[in-house]
Amino acid sequence: MSFELEQIDPFDVNYQDFWIKIEHLARYIFVYDMLKNQNKKQNVLDIACGFGYGLKELSPVSEKIIGVDINDIAIAKAQEINKNIANVEIIKWDLEKNINQQIFSENMFDNIISFETLEHLKNPMDVINIFYHLLKNNGQLILSVPNKRFESLDENGNPRNRYHKQVFSEFEIEDMLRVAGFKIIDKYGQAFLNKLIKKEHQLIRKKRIASRLSHLKKLSEKEYIRACAYLFAYPDKNDIKSSYSRIYVVSKIGVLSEKNMD
């Protein structure tokens, strides 16, 4: 898998995978709608913000939004995309390597976003605990993790994707969140998108259609990418087990267990 598949900009006409574009964008417009419905604009942290298109999407409904990433290329592009947006800040931070670095204050954020992050970490529980401390009481964490049933594993049970260090079952990820002190509010998926991708592959194989939708230049235009993200990839609660990723909305409620305080 190439770097581009891990870090994408849905509005980049040179990036060809239409389905991945709308899958990634739909998660952010889903959060946009959540934040828009809140009583006031709030402080938001986007962990592993990548190329920063999500920061731009969420800036109109945020008081302050900070993006964090480890990759210099991603940070540079994120800064370029958001250079004229006053309430966006982008910071380089290696959560695992510099886990004790006090970049942010405790109880600083109303919302933390972490899409497709935990599977890249050696010690994801440590990072979930960081999320807990950075959130205000009753603050929300919105995260996504790949569904174990769609991860290709080697003979030792490790992910074949060279970027992934973890694979999570539904029980494992939910147990980690609860142990950290989070209450699971809702679960979502993007199963309809998966069904469309499979259907496209079948139609191409049967020679009913000549090529993938990605090859249609019209679909690289912003208005079509956004509309299709809403139509085909917007997270919902239907058939979550068939979604490539599980999306969780969890709230900081409760007290950290003794296990995490040791």
What are the tens digits of pLDDT across the range 139-180?
Answer: 999 999 999 888 877 777 777 777 788 889 999 999 999 999
CA distances from 156 to 75, 102, 152, 153, 159 (A): 34, 37, 11, 8, 9
In 3-state terms the chain splits into helix, strand, coil percentages (rounded to 5) of: 40, 20, 35
In this prediction the pTM is: 0.90
* pLDDT for the residue numbered 254: 53
User: What backbone torsions phi and psi does residue 141 show, to the nearest 5 degrees?
Assistant: -110, 125
Asked if residue 198 belongs to a domain, the reply is: no
CA distances from 227 to 9, 31, 154, 231 (A): 16, 16, 38, 6
Mean pLDDT, residues 199-208: 91
Asked if residue 138 belongs to a domain, the reply is: yes
Helix 170-180 / helix 124-134 crossing angle, nearest 10 deg: 40
Mean pLDDT of the chain: 89
CB 53 within 8 A of CB 28: yes
109/212: higher pLDDT: 109
Asked if residue 247 belongs to a domain, the reply is: yes
The Cα 156–Cα 150 span in angstroms is 16
122/158: higher pLDDT: 122
The Cα 138–Cα 136 span in angstroms is 6
- DSSP assignment letter at 210: S
Q: What is the CATH number of the domain that holds 89?
A: 3.40.50.150
User: What range does the domain containing 143 cover?
Assistant: 23-190+235-252
90/260: higher pLDDT: 90
Residues above pLDDT 90, as percent of the chain = 71
Asked if residue 142 belongs to a domain, the reply is: yes
Per the DSSP assignment, residues forming a β-bridge with 68 are 47, 91
Asked if residue 225 belongs to a domain, the reply is: no
User: What backbone torsions phi and psi does residue 115 show, to the nearest 5 degrees?
Assistant: -90, 125
Dump pLDDT digits (tens) for 37-62: 988 899 999 999 999 999 999 999 99
Asked if residue 219 belongs to a domain, the reply is: no
Please give the tally of structural domains in the chain. Answer: 1
* pLDDT for the residue numbered 85: 98
13-27, 111-125, 177-191, 204-218: least confidently modelled range: 204-218
